[in-house]
Structure 1
Amino acid sequence: MPYPTTGPATWFVTGASRGLGLELVKQLLQRGDNVAATTRSPERLTAALGAADTSRLLALPVNLTDEQSVATAVQAAGDRFGPVDVVVNNAGYGLLAAVEEVSDTEARELFDVQIFGTWNVLRAVLPGMRARRSGHIINVSSILGLTTFPGWGAYCAAKYALEGLTGSLAGEVADFGIRVNLVEPGYMRTDFLRTSSLRLPAQVAAGYDGIREMTTNHLAMPGTQLGDPAKAATAIITIAQSSTAPLHQILGSDSYALAKSRIEALTNNIETGHTLAATTDITQNA
């Protein structure tokens, strides 16, 4: 079933109190939609919304890494608004470190939020969507789910995992009338590169001077990013209303350029390795 054309749609949005998630919640409330918004701090979310009409908002304190906490939140959204039409898995944070520097704990905490938290949401919403044979899931990835930068290995690993999970999910649920999309933004003018949303390693290794310089440059970047989070939120609403949006939706001209460059590099790699690839086939006896 397509996005509701009569009456308000019901959205379930994670990571709603800052950045893209907050802009999305603002616009949905202005549209008159119902919004169940998860956050670690409902107070911060309501304060950030200011004078906005919050009569259609359900702010939910949720630990995304706790499966029962997520299931309870989805049930609360259903009790308040009825079935969820659109899910936006937006919660996440960055980690800037060389691969060697990322501890086991830091890596697992990152994946707990960005992968297993998303998985918890999917397990909670999919049974109802399958039963109704309708619904839409939008997972917020990153251009770093398609390419890589030094110092972003842990974050790229999580986003690459999200891309694989989402691609498989899209094929699995299409016959149930459930649509699935990935959103892959570039740099957006949010708090993502501030210490409230960006983590640094507890221990650093000697010799990674380039990573330290890159970290300093990124921490100085807020306020100069190309992407507008309000326009990105509008784009997500457009995707939800469209029946023809691609699985991979790039956001930002910087993201588009990086994706094109990655495709060219990957194509070159594949063609360069083609001769050796063919040598591993089992050959039939003449």
Structure 2
Amino acid sequence: MTFPTDRPTTWFVTGTSRGLGLELVRQLLERGDDVAATTRSADRLLAALGDDVDRARLLPLTVDLRDETAVRQAVRAATERFGGLDAVVNNAGYGFLAAVEETGDREVRDMLDVQVVGVWNVLRATLPVLREQRGGHVVNVSSILGLTAVPGWALYCAGKFALEGLTEALAAEMADFGVGVTLVEPGYFRTDFLTRDSLALPAATTPHYPAIRDMIAHHLELQGGQLGDPAKGAAAIIDRVRSGEGPLRQLLGSDAHSYATAKVAALRADVEAAAVSAAATDFPAA
């Protein structure tokens, strides 16, 4: 992707009032780019940004990403305001900590509506623009827990695993149109992700999972001590998009790299263990 030289780059970013999304918006505005920023509360976004940014280049949009019509209207507003669209960042999301058995039907649907349906709504609205201009970049912010799973994170992992599959397919579909695709897999970043503002808990628990209760307590205590620097993480994402180079997956954080390395080793062991037995289910060779 070659970004325009005769005008600022235009970004459409979701989930912008906190964390990496907020830091992305701040840095993009500091660069002089145009940003359409969706959030559940435009007032909260503006308060978080303060007065030290160029608000003339910011289009804050209060959008429920689960509402396809609202998403299309937001994308239309962005392209009309800024005259185009260059990069799309799907960042909206939240955490959920519970055992599988404790996770209710409504909680499952709410998570997947945000992490999967919401992303799909944004893609359906933005891909035609990028495809027709034969250029642009899509960033889907997953997690290292989209690559590996741990107890207590099943619902969050389910949403991120789905996002990973969607993004792998999307990258192949967009290749012929000159549209880049990046799948970001952060580790633990020092945002407010591990606070009650961004982390949901089950409506009811059982006494059968004390290890998960201990894990949740530990994670709430971890807030403020995470390894990742959100300013560096946002800058790395911007650099990847601007360069248009790099592999599909962008691991952020040494902890993410360690988790990924362990996952690859475990998957390789499983594959090698099945080297002989896998063929047992084939029809006999003719």
Distance 1:241 1:206 in 2: 50
The residue number in structure 1 matching 2:171 is 170
Shift, 1:7, TM fit: 2.7
Q: Report the TM-score, using the length of structure 2 for normalisation.
A: 0.98
Q: Where has structure 1 moved over 3 Å in runs of 4 or more?
A: none
- Tell me the SS of whatever aligns to 2:262: helix
Specify the alignment match of 2:201 in structure 1. 200
CA–CA separation in structure 2 for the residues paired with 1:50 and 1:206: 45
Deviates more, 1:276-285 or 1:257-266: 276-285
For residues 89 and 268 of structure 2, what CA distance do their matches in structure 1 show? 32
Q: Which residue of 1 aligns with 2:33?
A: 33
1:243 shift after superposition: 2.4
Residue matched to 2:182? 181
CA distance in 1, matches of 2:198, 2:3: 32
CA distance in 2, matches of 1:234, 1:19: 13
Q: Which amino acid aligns with 1:98?
A: A
The count of corresponding residues between Structure 1 and Structure 2 is 285
Q: Is contact 1:62–1:69 with CA below 8 Å preserved after alignment?
A: yes
Letter in 1 for 2:34: N
CA-CA distance at 1:6 after TM superposition: 4.3
Amino acid at match of 1:174: A
**CA shift digits 1:33-65 (9 cap, x unpaired):** 000000011111111111222110000000000
Which amino acid in structure 2 is aligned with residue 13 of structure 1?
V
The answer to whether residue 215 in structure 2 is matched with residue 214 in structure 1 is yes
| Segment drifting more, 259-268 vs 275-284 | 275-284
2-structure distance, mates of 1:138, 1:175:
17
Name the residue aligned to 1:56: 57
Q: Structure 1 unaligned segments of length 5 or more: list them.
A: none
How large is the Cα RMSD of the aligned pairs?
0.9
**Is 1:242 matched with 2:234?**
no
Q: Which residue of 1 aligns with 2:42?
A: 42
Corresponding residue of 1:224: 225
Query: Following superposition of structure 1 onto structure 2, how do residues 82-231 of structure 1 map, counting pairs within 5 Å?
Result: 82-231=83-232
Q: Deviations for 1:50-81, whole angstroms, at most 9, x for unmatched residues?
A: 12221100000000000001000000001100
Rounded to whole Å, the distance in 2 between the matches of 1:132 and 1:176 is 8
Partner of 1:17: 17
Q: Which TM-score applies when normalising by structure 1? A: 0.98
Percent identity over the alignment is: 59
CA deviations on 1:144-168 (whole Å, 9 max, x unpaired) are 0111110000000100000000000
- Paired amino acid for 2:195: R
Partners of 1:120 and 1:255 lie apart in 2 by 28
What SS does the corresponding residue of 2:251 show, helix, strand or coil? strand
Deviation at 1:3, TM superposition (A): 2.5
**Relative to 1, partners in 2 of residues 1:283 and 1:264: Cα closer, same or farther, differing over 3 Å?**
same
Conserved? CA contact 1:92–1:113, under 8 Å: yes
